[in-house]
Amino acid sequence: MKQLLYSFFSLILSLFLISSQNISSATTVNIGILTELKISSLILSAHYGDYYLYGDGNRIILISGNESLLCQVKEDSVLVKKQNTTIGTYKIVKLIGKNAPNSFNIKPMKPEKPLTIFDHNLDLSVSNKFFKIINRVNIEYYVAGVVEAENGISQNYEYYRMKSIICRTYALNNLRRHEAEEYNLCNTVHCQVYKAKNRHNDDILMAAFATTGMVIVDTNLQLITAAFHSNCGGQTVNSESVWSLPTSYLKSVDDTFCLNMPHATWEHRINKNDWLNYLKKDFPILSDSASTCCNLTYSQNRREIDFLNDSLRIPLKKIRNDFRLKSTFFVFEPHGDSILLKGKGFGHGVGLCQEGAMRMAKLGFKFNEILHFYYKDVYLVDLSVINSNQ
């Protein structure tokens, strides 16, 4: 029954796609999938709907039901087999759905990994002795897949609407990020995490389509860098404090919504001698006892950019990176043979605080109110507004 309801819902959305005149609703994005693996053998099959197999531009066969294809790297080409019978060897193999909705299964065999399901169509070719796999998918289904992968399935509908807009804005602002590889975005944290189709919470796909084509722009109608992080610890950071590039919309805000969330606070210990040797190695430091004492104590009531005392000025982001700390929002003091760091937040602190946004959504704030709280002087517009001004 659940599968039947999902299929009905997908069919309704597909009919919407066909009839909608919204520019974004017809947008297909090309996503490099399973890019973290070096795959030389895999099995393809239809998960829902029927698929045509194309080889080098020619339609070869129809794949339906429980039929599957074994694809293997053969020099610079794709060898395709069906039930131990060789179908052919091609430079480019495509799976194209016969009718909407459709989704396909992909099961890596070398190396062996779990079966994964993706929406819409697939291109398969060989690059540097391994498969290059591209999922050609409608952007709203892609957005739903990313939101599920990055935010889980237990958030509420308003939060999913908000994150759908952020994800869509990022995707459309970075369509040329993997131009050299002949696709738009990869499936890892380098772009946005995209593990599979959304299939564990229907609210996510509904949220993506409820905000179809909606993006965030600045006062010049340019897509924003929709930065976000896990938890800001009570105060977000200006973009120039982290990336040296000021923006009109990534400005520091006080945030009380995240203070009681899971990643609001943390502790970390550093050996006292290791800390002092770190300072002596990379930065000029006085060796007298007064200076040493000063360098073992630090506080910041509000977020600072640098660790600063009489003898030192060190970017806090460098300290965070060097010691793999959860944030730059911390204080410390001597504690035995160590210094004890007590920190707030998790992540770079720029833009939207995800745990704060989760709390706001649960308190009843609407998606647009959440976005305007974290991003300053921005507008939520349909993609067609941008296109009409270019």
What is the per-residue pLDDT across 30-59, written as a single tens digit (0 to 9) for each? 999 999 999 999 999 999 999 999 999 999
The verdict on residue 65 lying in a domain is yes
Rg of the chain in Å (alpha carbons): 25
DSSP secondary-structure letter at 301?
Answer: S
CATH code for the domain of 108: 2.60.200
- Structural domain count, the chain: 2
- Is the pLDDT assigned to residue 255 strictly greater than 50? yes
CA–CA separation, 82 vs 212, rounded Å?
A: 39
The answer to whether residue 82 scores a pLDDT higher than 60 is yes
* pLDDT bucket at 100, cuts 50 / 70 / 90: confident
pLDDT score, position 7: 47
1 domain residue, yes or no: no
Q: Is residue 178 part of a domain?
A: no
pLDDT of residue 283: 73
Rounded CA-CA distance 72/341 in Å is 52
Higher-confidence position of 60 and 307: 60
Domain coverage including residue 333 = 265-344
Whether the predicted pLDDT of 18 surpasses 90: no
Residue 82 three-state SS: strand
Q: At 46, phi and psi to the nearest 5?
A: -80, 130
Note the pLDDT of residue 386: 79
Which of 93, 108, 137 lies at the terminal end of a domain, its last residue?
Answer: 137
Residue 263: which of 237, 228, 231 has the closest Cα?
Answer: 231
| CB atoms closer than 10 angstroms to residue 113 | 14
**Nearest CA to 125 among 89, 98, 82, 86?**
89
Predicted pLDDT of residue 211: 97
pLDDT tens for 323-382 read: 999 999 999 999 999 999 999 999 999 999 999 999 999 999 999 999 999 999 999 999
Report the C-alpha gap between 116 and 114 in whole angstroms: 6
Per the model's pLDDT, the better-predicted residue between 19 and 252 turns out to be: 252
**Percent of the chain residues topping a pLDDT of 90:** 81
Look at residue 13 and tell me whether its pLDDT is greater than 60.
no
Please state the rounded mean pLDDT for residues 179-186: 96
Q: How far apart are CA 389 and CA 386, in angstroms?
A: 5
Asked whether the predicted pLDDT for residue 88 surpasses 80, the reply is yes
In a domain, 111, yes or no: yes
Whole-number pLDDT of residue 182: 95
Q: Is residue 380 part of a domain?
A: no
Q: At a CB cut-off of 8 Å and minimum separation 6, what does 152 contact? A: none
* Alpha-carbon torsion (276, 277, 280, 283), positive or negative: negative
> Tell me: the pLDDT tens digits for 262-314?
999 999 999 999 999 998 887 766 555 556 667 889 999 999 999 876 567 88
The answer to whether position 120 is within a domain reads yes
Number of CB atoms found within 10 A of residue 244's CB:
7
Q: What is the pLDDT of residue 238?
A: 96
Q: How confident is the model at residue 285, as a pLDDT?
A: 61
Neighbour-count burial for 141-162, b at 16+ CB within 10 Å, e otherwise = bbbbbbbbebbeeebeebbbbb
- Is 45 inside any structural domain? yes
Q: Is residue 82 part of a domain?
A: yes
Q: Which helix (H) or strand (E) holds 90?
A: strand 85-90
| Boundary-marking domain end, from 137, 155, 189 | 137
Query: Given a cut of 70, is residue 21 above it in pLDDT?
Result: no
The phi, psi pair for 331, rounded to 5°, reads: -125, 165
End residue of a domain, out of 137, 170, 189: 137
